[in-house]
C-alpha cells in the first residue's frame, strides 16, 4: 500500500481538512476537475482510494446528453461506476476489511430490506443507490465511499484495471445466468462492444461450445475471435438467420432494435433471448416466432451476487479483462476518455486512473 495524500499512514484515518480531486460533469459536454472534500465512511462503510475506473457507455451518454431516460443530471455529477482501488479508511463497525486491502467496488448498494432484496433480487431494489446515476456521485475521483459488503477483496493476480472491469464482467455473468448458458450451449452474442466481449468470455467459461458473435466492426470481431468466439458474422454482409445451426441462447448486447429482432428470429425452438443492450425504448418483436418456438424473452438489469464468480474466473485466468483495455487516461483527461470511443473505431474499453 502507499500513503495517499489525505491519509495518515498506519491509521487509515482521513485528515480533517482532506480534499481530493474529482472530475465533475456540470452539463452536457462540460467536465471539469474540482477540489472536493474527501468523503467520510459512515457506519458499515469504507473509503476506497480509487486506482482505476472504467468508462462505460452510460458515462458517455450522460456526458453527451445530460440524461438517460428518467435520470437527469440536474446538479453537478461525478461519473464513473466501474471502480477498484485500496481501502483507505474504515467506518465505525467495519471489521471485514483492512486499510490497504485491494478491492473491487460493486457500485450499487440496495436497501437490503425490501421484498426484492429479501428475495435475493437486490438488483431490482427500488431504493438502489447506484454510482454515477443522478443524484449519486460516481468514481471519477480520488476517493469514494461504499458499503463494506460491496467492496470485494481481490487477489494480487488481478490488476487494478481488471478489478475495475469486474463490473462490466458482472453484466455478462448475469446475462449468462439469465439465459441459463451451460455446458454445450450454443450461444449467439449480438454486438461486440465491451459487454458483448465479456459475455463471450463468460459463455465460454460456463461451458458454451458454439459462440457466434455478430457486429459491424471488423476490429471487434477479430478480438471476439481471440476471446473465444467460435464463429463471427459481419453484420454488414451476412445474417445471423443464415447460421447452419440455430443458437439456443441469444445474448443481445447491441441495443439495436432491428438487429435484436433479427437475432430473435435466428433462435432455435425453446430458445432464450436475453436483452442486455440498451437502445430504443421500443422494439419490433417477431411475436409469431416467439409463440411458435416457445421462446423466452427476458430483460436484465445490472446483476446480483456476481462478484464472487467474477473474481474466481478472472483470478483463475479463465477470463482476460486487461485485454479489453485500449486506453488509459489521467483524471484531468476524463473528457478525452469519455469521447475515445467515437474518435477511434479500434477503441474498446478505456480507463481513468484518478491518482494520476
Ligand atoms: Zn431493496
Taken in order of first residue, the domains within the chain and their CATH numbers are 4-165+321-353 (3.90.180.10), 169-299 (3.40.50.720)
Q: How far is the CA of 125 from the centre of ligand 1 (A)?
A: 4
* pLDDT tier at 230, thresholds 50, 70, 90: very high
% pLDDT > 70, the chain: 95
Peptide bond into 172 cis (omega under 30): no
| 19 has a pLDDT exceeding 60 | yes
> So what's the pLDDT on residue 278?
86
Q: How far is the CA of 286 from the centre of ligand 1 (A)?
A: 34
The C-alpha cell that represents 292 in the structure block: 411458435
Evaluated on CA atoms 71, 75, 80, 83, the torsion sign reads: negative
- Mean pLDDT across 333-345: 92
Q: How far is the CA of 113 from the centre of ligand 1 (A)?
A: 5
- Mean pLDDT across 202-212: 98
Q: How far is the CA of 17 from the centre of ligand 1 (A)?
A: 35
Q: How far is the CA of 270 from the centre of ligand 1 (A)?
A: 32
In whole angstroms, give the CA distance from residue 215 to residue 218. 8
Q: How far is the CA of 304 from the centre of ligand 1 (A)?
A: 12
Q: How far is the CA of 30 from the centre of ligand 1 (A)?
A: 33
The C-alpha cell that represents 346 in the structure block: 479500434
Dihedral angle computed from the Cα positions of residues 61, 63, 64 and 70, in that order, rounded to the nearest 10 degrees:
50
Q: How far is the CA of 139 from the centre of ligand 1 (A)?
A: 23
CA 319-297-108 angle, to 5 degrees, is 55
| 149 has a pLDDT exceeding 90 | yes
Count of all residues that appear for the chain in the document? 356
Asked if residues 115 and 78 have their Cβ atoms less than 8 Å apart, the reply is no
Q: How far is the CA of 107 from the centre of ligand 1 (A)?
A: 15
> So what's the pLDDT on residue 71?
86
* pLDDT tier at 335, thresholds 50, 70, 90: very high
Q: How far is the CA of 329 from the centre of ligand 1 (A)?
A: 35
- Mean pLDDT across 30-41: 95
* Range scoring the smallest mean pLDDT among 165-174, 188-197, 318-327, 342-351: 342-351
- Mean pLDDT across 249-276: 96
Q: How far is the CA of 157 from the centre of ligand 1 (A)?
A: 33
Side by side, which strands form the sheet with 231-234? 231-234, 210-215, 186-190, 249-252, 272-275, 296-299
> So what's the pLDDT on residue 17?
55
* pLDDT tier at 215, thresholds 50, 70, 90: very high
Q: Rounded to the nearest 5°, which phi and psi values hold at 12? A: 80, 0
Q: How far is the CA of 305 from the centre of ligand 1 (A)?
A: 14
Q: Give 261-270 pLDDT, tens digit per residue.
A: 999 999 999 9
| 134 has a pLDDT exceeding 80 | yes
CA 354-198-188 angle, to 5 degrees, is 155
* pLDDT tier at 15, thresholds 50, 70, 90: low
> So what's the pLDDT on residue 282?
85
Q: How far is the CA of 79 from the centre of ligand 1 (A)?
A: 23
Q: Give 63-121 pLDDT, tens digit per residue.
A: 999 988 888 988 999 999 999 999 999 999 999 999 999 999 999 999 999 999 999 99
Q: How far is the CA of 119 from the centre of ligand 1 (A)?
A: 9
In whole angstroms, give the CA distance from residue 276 to residue 6. 39
- Mean pLDDT across 242-258: 96
Q: How far is the CA of 331 from the centre of ligand 1 (A)?
A: 33
Q: How far is the CA of 132 from the centre of ligand 1 (A)?
A: 19
In whole angstroms, give the CA distance from residue 54 to residue 73. 20
Q: How far is the CA of 265 from the centre of ligand 1 (A)?
A: 36
* pLDDT tier at 12, thresholds 50, 70, 90: low
Q: How far is the CA of 108 from the centre of ligand 1 (A)?
A: 11
Q: How far is the CA of 152 from the centre of ligand 1 (A)?
A: 20
> So what's the pLDDT on residue 250?
98
Find residue 290's DSSP bridge partners.
none
- Mean pLDDT across 223-231: 97
Amino acid at each position: 500500500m502507499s500513503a495517499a495524500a489525505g491519509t495518515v499512514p498506519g491509521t487509515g484515518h482521513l485528515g480533517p481538512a482532506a480534499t481530493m480531486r474529482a472530475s465533475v460533469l456540470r452539463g452536457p459536454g462540460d467536465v471539469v476537475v474540482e477540489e472536493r472534500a474527501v468523503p467520510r465512511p459512515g457506519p458499515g462503510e469504507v473509503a476506497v482510494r480509487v486506482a482505476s475506473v472504467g468508462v462505460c457507455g452510460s458515462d458517455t451518454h450522460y456526458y453527451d446528453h445530460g440524461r438517460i431516460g428518467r435520470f437527469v443530471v440536474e446538479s453537478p455529477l461525478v461519473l464513473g461506476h466501474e471502480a477498484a482501488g485500496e481501502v483507505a479508511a474504515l467506518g465505525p463497525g467495519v471489521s471485514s476489511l483492512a486499510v490497504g486491502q485491494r478491492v473491487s467496488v460493486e457500485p450499487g448498494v440496495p436497501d437490503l430490506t425490501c421484498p426484492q432484496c429479501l428475495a435475493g433480487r437486490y438488483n431490482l431494489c427500488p431504493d438502489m443507490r447506484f454510482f454515477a446515476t443522478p443524484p449519486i456521485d460516481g468514481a471519477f475521483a480520488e476517493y469514494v465511499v461504499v458499503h463494506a459488503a460491496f467492496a470485494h477483496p481481490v487477489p494480487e493476480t488481478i490488476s487494478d484495471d481488471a478489478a475495475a472491469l469486474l463490473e462490466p464482467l458482472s453484466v455478462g455473468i448475469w446475462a449468462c445466468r439469465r439465459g441459463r448458458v451451460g455446458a454445450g450451449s450454443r450461444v449467439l452474442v449480438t454486438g461486440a462492444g465491451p459487454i458483448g466481449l465479456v459475455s463471450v468470455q463468460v459463455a465460454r467459461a460456463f461451458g458454451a461450445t458454439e459462440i457466434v458473435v455478430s457486429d459491424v466492426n471488423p476490429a471487434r470481431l477479430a478480438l471476439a475471435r481471440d476471446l473465444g468466439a467460435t464463429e463471427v458474422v459481419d453484420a454488414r454482409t451476412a445474417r445471423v438467420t443464415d447460421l447452419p445451426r440455430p443458437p439456443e441462447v441469444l445474448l443481445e448486447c447491441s441495443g439495436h432494435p432491428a438487429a435484436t429482432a433479427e437475432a430473435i428470429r435466428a433462435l432455435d425452438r425453446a430458445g432464450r433471448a436475453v436483452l442486455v443492450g440498451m437502445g430504443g425504448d421500443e422494439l419490433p418483436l417477431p411475436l409469431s416466432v416467439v409463440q411458435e418456438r416457445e421462446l423466452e424473452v427476458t430483460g436484465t438489469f445490472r446483476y446480483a451476487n456476481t462478484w464472487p464468480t467474477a473474481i474466481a474466473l478472472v483470478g483463475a485466468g479463465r477470463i482476460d479483462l486487461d485485454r479489453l483495455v485500449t486506453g488509459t487516461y489521467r483524471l484531468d483527461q476524463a473528457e478525452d476518455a469519455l469521447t475515445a470511443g467515437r474518435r477511434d473505431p479500434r477503441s474498446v474499453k478505456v480507463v481513468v486512473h484518478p491518482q494520476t
